[in-house]
Amino acid sequence: MADIDGSELLDLVQYLDNAEHEAASKTYPVVERHAEALRDQWRKNAKETARKHGKRYPKTITTEQVPAAEAIEWTVGPESMMPQGGMGPGFEHGSRNQPPHWDGARAAVAEEPKFYKSLDEIVRSLL
């Protein structure tokens, strides 16, 4: 007859359950911080490219948490209901009258490696 000790497996399950909660609590402020950094860089880019024609446009770029039970999500971008916020797609992707500015895309490309580095630090802290 063989004895099988499952206590280590139960300890691992308990550890992983605690790690899930710890990861969530550490991740929320990181996602929020990087969403705000993305917003700020997007606004800075927009100020440089929108000129007088879109002087109100940069202030329409906001962050908002997306309510989700199983995820930590933030939306970053122009609010179409604000003055000049509806001009976001034209500024970002261009139109027949102007080339694309790619303000948001450039901000995202700059912020992405910083965001992944922060997430990597969280994961390493849980190991």
Which tens digits make up the pLDDT trace of 69-100? 778 889 999 999 889 888 888 889 999 988 99
The domain tally of the chain equals 1
**Do the domain assignments include residue 1?**
no
Q: What's the whole-model pTM score?
A: 0.82
**Do the domain assignments include residue 2?**
no
**Do the domain assignments include residue 84?**
yes
**Do the domain assignments include residue 3?**
no
Distance CA 116, CA 60 (A): 26
**Do the domain assignments include residue 38?**
yes
Beta bridge partners of 40: none
- Nearest Cα residue to 88 out of 37, 40, 43, 32: 43
Q: What is the pLDDT of residue 85?
A: 86
Domain that holds residue 69: 8-126
